[in-house]
Structure 1
Amino acid sequence: MEQEIHFVKLNPTQNMTILVETAHPAKAHKDIATKIMSYDSVYAEQVGFIEEPISYKADAHLQMAGGEFCGNACMALAAFIMSKQELKHNRVKKILLEVSGTDSLVECEVKRGADEYYCQVTMPIPKEIKQRTINHEGNKLDIVLIDYGEFVHIVRNVKDFNERVKEEAQSLAKSLALTLNVSLIGILLYNQDSHELEPLIYIPHLDSMVWERGCGSGTASLGSYLAWKNKRETTIHVKQPGGTITAIANYQERKLISLKIEGSVGIVAQGKAFITV
């Protein structure tokens, strides 16, 4: 049976994101997402569903297809809401979102630019950050584990982003999924000399593995790791294949107080998609 899906496609730092406007039961999210993000459909790296919020304080609820939390998708939805409210050029407005993968309301500050929106999003603070040495396929790997409870990010310091390193990252993500009960595993390859990041995002529930061109949540994790490591407030502009995202980590009294990211969002397309379910 063919189903009509109303969607908007957005571009937060080339982390192409589809937001579904029509209401669908949760059990259908995985199938819809898999089909609409495929090459022969609308095509994107991730899919979220816009739903009515439970809290009266929230402007909307964002339910990601894999149940994960996504900073870039938060920025995308905030920009879309502001476009519908016809936010004036250079004006700034704040909204609150309910988002899958976190129990806290997410604050988004949006500024309207000439042809895109500039967003600052308050991100979840990691529950734990720790350095570990793990055995993987006969090799000892030095990693930084950033644990949010619902999802984890792994930071690996690398000198370059060659195929061997990338294949190892993909294998590591699959391996960790067998032992960690989480909605998302991110492997963040980071060159600390050039401040470049290559983020791999694996969502076990969807069996979706993508080398993202820009990762907001990964940028936040990197900022939190550097603040934790250096024991001070940190602002870092992280270069990624799709552009730059900024992380702002407020570190006081030996702990992270707040964590934010900043980036730009463009609205690419809006319309109807037709998929067979």
Structure 2
Amino acid sequence: MPTLPFSKWSPGGNTTLLFPSNGLAPALQCRLARQALTESCLGGEQAGFVNFEARSLRMAGGEFCINASRAVGALLACADDCRQRTEDTARAYESGAQPAKPDKAPLPAATGGSALQQCYTIGVSGWQSPVQLRVRGYAPYWRVEAILQLPDITIQRVAEGIHLVRLPGISHLLLDGHIHSQPEDCYAAAALLRERYDLKQEAAVGVIWWRTLQGQMDMLPLVHVRDTRSDYLESACGSGALALALSRSQTAGGKSFTIMQPSGSPLDVRLFSEGGEPMAGVDGPVSLVARGQVWLPDAAD
């Protein structure tokens, strides 16, 4: 029975389990993630495996995920803060001062000063270039922006009110809710759409119903990951928000978008250039929900 340390995060509501990779083979990661994500275990919408030494994230299905990447930024900041706190405690002992007891303050927290700011660079499955993470705040609440160098991205109008945006590691079908109303059974509708547009073999596919009401854009994402055989109506989707921003920028103009997620938390997307390269930033809150160890039955298909 495998025992794994874990942390559970809420990047804008998109509940994410993070585990250390520990040399686990991708197939085993998939099986462990399927078990851990069930409601009878840890629950969640997605899972990823972090290599701390390599500063890398592999999603359980090998897909690309912006929100999980943002959660890794908070995880790294939390680890750095705890390391600094341990060093401060050791120095306090050496100087004869009385340090705070660890059980009284298990996580570093706001002390009334300016918010902590840290930057990290990680590799993420499905994305060819490094992802920069700009972290602000204190445990257990942060704001994290994922900054991406954009490759050539295909945005295709496949039907009236439907655009297909192919990002590395995940593709998204965007359905204008003013033309295509949200169906009663989103799961069945999404499966039909993936088949209709020949997306069944993609590593990950999001089907997103979006609309703009009184100047506010909102979205409902359903994400399918092939290798983990999972389908979730997600509480938030960072890559879906990026795909929607890119599509709206192309069709209606604009470089800055605030997109409300089903959780009620917005994601801010900005499109810009840096050194002549097209870039994007996806920013929003990240909070730590839980951390500890999980006991999983022997993984099986």
Q: TM-score, normalised by structure 2?
A: 0.79
Structure 2 residue matching 1:163: 3-state secondary structure? coil
Match of 1:195 in 2: 217
- The aligned residue for residue 57 of structure 1 is none
Residue type of the partner of 1:260?
G
In 1, distance between residues paired with 2:62 and 2:118? 27
Q: Which runs of 5+ in 1 are unaligned?
A: 55-59, 134-140
Paired amino acid for 2:58: Q
Tell me if 1:151 matches 2:170.
yes
Partner residue in 1 for 2:42:
42
2:78 and 2:139 in contact (8 A); partners too: no
User: Over residues 95-144 of structure 1, what are the superposed CA-to-partner deviations in whole Å (9 max), with x where a residue is unaligned?
Assistant: 001100011000000001474000111135352112122xxxxxxx6411
Asked whether the equivalents of residues 199 and 215 of structure 1 are also in contact (C-alpha less than 8 Å), the reply is yes
In structure 2, C-alpha distance between the alignment counterparts of 1:251 and 1:107, rounded to whole Å: 15
Cα deviation for residue 237 of structure 1 reads 1.1
**Corresponding residue of 2:90:** none
1:132 corresponding residue in structure 2: 158
Offset of 1:92 from its aligned partner? 1.0
Q: What are the within-5 Å matches in structure 2 for residues 18-167 of structure 1?
A: 18-21=17-20, 23=22, 24-52=24-52, 60-86=55-81, 89=110, 90-113=115-138, 115-123=140-148, 125=150, 127-133=153-159, 142-159=161-178, 160-163=181-184, 167=188
Equivalence for 1:136: none
Question: How many residue pairs align between the two structures?
Answer: 260
Q: Deviations over 1:159-217 (max 9, x none)?
A: 353415664234213555x5554211011110123411000101111211100011111
Q: CA deviation at 1:27?
A: 2.4
Q: Which runs of 5+ in 2 are unaligned?
A: 82-107
Normalising to structure 1: TM-score of the pair? 0.86
SS in 2 for 1:276: coil
CA contact (8 A) 2:201 2:226 kept: no
| Contact map agreement 2:50 2:56 (CA 8 A) in 1 | yes
**CA deviation vs aligned residue, 1:52-91 (integer Å, no higher than 9, x gap):** 565xxxxx11000000010000110110110111177402
8 Å CA contact 1:48, 1:64 repeated in 2? yes
Aligned ranges for residues 171-186 of structure 1 at < 5 Å? Answer: 171-173=192-194, 175-176=196-197, 179=199, 181-186=201-206
* Distance 1:36-1:235 versus aligned 2 partners, 3 A rule: same
Amino acid at match of 1:91: L
Percent identity over the alignment is 21
For structure 1, which segment, 111-120 or 99-108, has the greater mean C-alpha deviation from structure 2 after superposition?
Answer: 111-120
Greater shift, 178-187 or 148-157, is seen at: 178-187
Shift of 1:93: 1.1
3-state SS of 1:41 partner: coil
Q: CA deviation at 1:250?
A: 2.5
| Helix, strand or coil at the partner of 1:250 | strand
Q: Distance in 2 between matches of 1:101 and 1:191?
A: 28
What code does the residue aligned with 2:34 have? T
The corresponding residue for 1:11 is 10
State the 1:256 CA deviation. 8.1
* CA 99–240 in structure 1, closer or farther in 2 if over 3 Å, else same: same
Contact 2:109 2:139 in 1 (8 A): no
Q: Separation in 1 of the partners of 2:295 and 2:8?
A: 15
Tell me which residue corresponds to 1:268: 289
Q: Are 1:170 and 1:200, in contact at CA under 8 Å, matched by a contact in 2?
A: no
Point out the structure with max Rg over C-alpha: 2
- Give the distance between the partners of 1:264 and 1:218, measured in 2 at CA: 16
CA distance in structure 2 between the partners assigned to 1:251 and 1:180 by the alignment: 34
Distance 1:155 1:10, change over 3 A: same
Q: Give distance in 2, aligned partners of 1:209 and 1:201.
A: 6
CA contact (8 A) 1:198 1:211 kept: yes
Q: Which structure has more strand as a fraction of its residues?
A: 1
CA distance in 2, matches of 1:39, 1:114: 26
Cα distance between partner residues in 2 of 1:49 and 1:239:
27
What is the aligned-residue RMSD (CA, Å)? 2.3
